[in-house]
Amino acid sequence: MSLGKWVGIGAGWFLAGPIGAIIGYYISKSFFNGKNDQENAYEISLLILSSLVIKSDGKIVKAELEYVKRFFVKTFGMQKANKYFEVFNKLNKQSLSSQLRPVCQQLNKYVNHASRLQIIHFLFGVSASDNDIHISEIELIKKISGYLNINQYDFESIQSMFISKGSPGSLEKWFAILEIDKNATNEEIKKAHRRMVIKYHPDKLQGVSEDIIKLAEEKFLLVQQAYEKIMKSRS
């Protein structure tokens, strides 16, 4: 399945709207060669949002830049990743905050829900890469999540992968990952587990880069782990 089908879009979606404007103004359309342009544009969207998150605490941290670069190197190889990182450096020098909502609205219109969840997962990964998730970064990712029509439960579930809740050894984190209350019955836990397995199964992301699939696999494994830990505590 092509990326175009994965995100449910038609050719040229990225050339219209704010993403196309940013590409044309800051990057130049010569970046695209007519092959895999939709995939390139989706990755540019990740760079735009990553840049905004990285700068949200008033500083640009090397570890966060390196996290983004490693992602693109693993996905595309060093040569193409360097090309993307040239773009990223340009974006980091610009003030794009006014474009946040329009960019998210364009993604929300053309990118499916499973893919939008992975965007939030990726942004938390960027934020956590320096071992210090700043409150301003959390607030911005939450705002992005809202603009992408991702509900509070999904947001908190992904957040729980990176920020532990409760005291050490507490099950609160695992309940949050399954998007259920700690007082849920065993039957409700089983239903929640089945629902989350369907939502985060990597097979829903066919035709995407290996690193995007890896993000989904990490989330999928944590869903399994959450279910096992909760049920074990009740046996």
pLDDT digits (tens, 9 = 90+) for 37-71: 455 667 778 889 999 999 998 888 899 999 998 88
Mean predicted lDDT score pLDDT of the chain:
79
How far apart, in whole angstroms, are the C-alpha atoms of residue 6 and residue 10? 11
Average pLDDT over residues 180-192: 90
Q: Report the percentage of the chain scoring pLDDT > 90.
A: 25
Q: What is the pLDDT of residue 49?
A: 94
Is residue 2 over pLDDT 60? no
Is residue 206 over pLDDT 60? no
Angle between helices 37-55 and 113-128 (to 10 degrees): 40
| Statement: the pTM of the whole predicted model exceeds 0.85 | no
pLDDT-based confidence at residue 72 (cuts at 50, 70, 90): confident
The pLDDT tens digits of the residues spanning 80-119 come to 788 888 888 888 888 888 889 988 988 887 777 888 888 8
Task: Please state the domain count of the chain.
Answer: 1
Is residue 75 over pLDDT 80? no
Q: What is the pLDDT of residue 50?
A: 93
How far apart, in whole angstroms, are the C-alpha atoms of residue 225 and residue 125? 19
Cα distances from 192 to residues 115, 161, 184, 197, in angstroms, run 20, 17, 10, 9
Let me know: does 87 contact 45? Beta carbons within 8 Å. Answer: no
Is residue 129 over pLDDT 50? yes
| DSSP 8-state symbol, 205 | G
Lowest-pLDDT range of 32-36, 118-122, 127-131, 156-160:
32-36
Q: What is the pLDDT of residue 31?
A: 55
In this predicted model, which residue has the larger pLDDT, 24 or 218? 218
Q: What is the pLDDT of residue 188?
A: 92
Q: What is the pLDDT of residue 24?
A: 63
Indicate the SS3 state at residue 26: helix
Is residue 7 over pLDDT 50? no
CA angle 109, 1, 201 (to 5 degrees): 75
Q: What is the CATH number of the domain that holds 117?
A: 1.10.3680.10
Lowest-pLDDT range of 3-7, 147-151, 152-156:
3-7
pLDDT-based confidence at residue 196 (cuts at 50, 70, 90): confident
Host domain of residue 10: 3-233
